[in-house]
């Protein structure tokens, strides 16, 4: 009888601990910083190449709700420049801003001035901060350059929203684009961005997780002691 009671108590405590862990762990945003990806590695001068950007926000609220008008990564970053760099030469191939999902897609044209060999695709913002890329290198083949069908410098911008207001006397149409963060939001220059700041000096995710686990442990021990005391009284 006593053994069955203890088994039930342990099962109850396990369920309580699981619920506390599930509900006590805070949600987190990805604060790794702006990144880019490229779709292919071997290209021909004059050919097109798609560059995709992710996590282009000016902040990171990983420990609490963001302020009104901002998302988990703050405000989408504007003033983004995409370059192709080969040796000491660099060519601006695209410019624009991230959308409200903190991302962008742009098709660039590989500069015809590049020679056969390796080059690097970079996305920069603010004081020439360089976005992280797992593999930014491309290989320019020695094939004859293609004739570019698009402008040398491409542009990418968030979609605009058009609102039409009709009154008895007139009709007014306005176009509003999502607000992009000014380039002054980030000032350091580095090859790979540091993790973006957390929520206004709040403890980071690891600290919150440790605190949560301590609270869960104390709560579980208290429940266990209470359950054992009740079981002894019943026996």
CATH code (residue 55): 2.60.40.1930
Would the pTM count as exceeding 0.75? no
**Contact residues for 190 (Cβ-Cβ < 8 A; gap 6+):** 129, 130
pLDDT of residue 32: 85
Cβ count near 199 (within 10 Å):
18
Out of 89-103, 162-176, 178-192, least confident range: 178-192
- Mean pLDDT, the chain, rounded, equals 73
Residues 71 and 19 in one domain: no
Residues 147 and 41 in one domain: yes
Between 49 and 144, residue with greater pLDDT: 49
Residues 85 and 11 in one domain: no
Residues 170 and 217 in one domain: no
Q: What is the DSSP letter of 45?
A: T
pLDDT at residue 107 above 60? yes
Between 70 and 215, residue with greater pLDDT: 70
Supply φ then ψ for residue 189, to 5 degrees: -115, 125
Q: Are strands 117-125 and 137-140 parallel, antiparallel or unpaired?
A: antiparallel
Residues 46 and 106 in one domain: yes
**CA distance linking residue 27 with residue 171, whole number of Å:** 45
SS (H, E, C) 3-47: HHHHHHHHHHHHHHHHHHHHHHCCCCCCCCCCEEEECCCEECCCC
pLDDT at residue 24 above 50? no
Residues 19 and 38 in one domain: no
Beta bridge partners, 125, equal: 129
pLDDT of residue 152: 82
Total count of domains within the chain: 2
Q: pLDDT tens, 198-214?
A: 444 333 444 444 455 55
* Residue 217: band (very low, low, confident or very high) from pLDDT cuts 50, 70, 90: low
Residues 218 and 169 in one domain: no
Q: Could you list the residue range(s) of the whole structural domain that residue 63 is in?
A: 32-197
Summarize the confidence of residues 158-168 as an average pLDDT.
55
**CA distance linking residue 127 with residue 193, whole number of Å:** 12
Residues 98 and 210 in one domain: no
**CA distance linking residue 56 with residue 32, whole number of Å:** 10
Tell me the three state secondary structure of residue 213: helix
- Residue holding tokens 């097109």? 48
**CA distance linking residue 101 with residue 103, whole number of Å:** 5
């Amino acid at each position: 009888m006593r053994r069955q009671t203890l088994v039930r108590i342990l099962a109850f405590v396990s369920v309580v601990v699981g619920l506390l862990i599930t509900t006590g762990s805070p949600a987190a945003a990805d604060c790794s910083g702006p990144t880019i990806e490229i779709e292919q590695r071997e290209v021909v001068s004059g050919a097109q190449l798609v560059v995709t950007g992710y996590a282009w926000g000016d902040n990171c609220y990983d420990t609490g709700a963001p302020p009104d008008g901002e998302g988990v990564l703050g405000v989408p970053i504007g003033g983004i420049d995409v370059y192709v760099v080969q040796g000491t030469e660099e060519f601006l191939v695209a410019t624009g801003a991230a959308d409200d999902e903190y991302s962008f897609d742009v098709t660039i044209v590989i500069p015809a001035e590049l020679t056969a060999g390796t080059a690097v695709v970079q996305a920069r913002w603010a004081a020439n901060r360089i976005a992280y890329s797992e593999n930014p290198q491309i290989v320019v083949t020695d094939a004859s350059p293609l004739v570019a069908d698009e402008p040398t410098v491409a542009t990418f911008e968030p979609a605009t929203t058009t609102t039409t207001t009709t009154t008895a006397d007139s009709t007014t149409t306005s176009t509003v684009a999502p607000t992009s963060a000014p380039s002054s939001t980030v000032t350091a220059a580095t090859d790979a961005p540091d993790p973006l700041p957390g929520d206004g000096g709040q403890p980071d995710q690891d600290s919150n997780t440790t605190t949560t686990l301590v609270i869960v442990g104390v709560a579980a021990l208290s429940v266990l002691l209470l359950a054992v005391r009740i079981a002894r009284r019943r026996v």
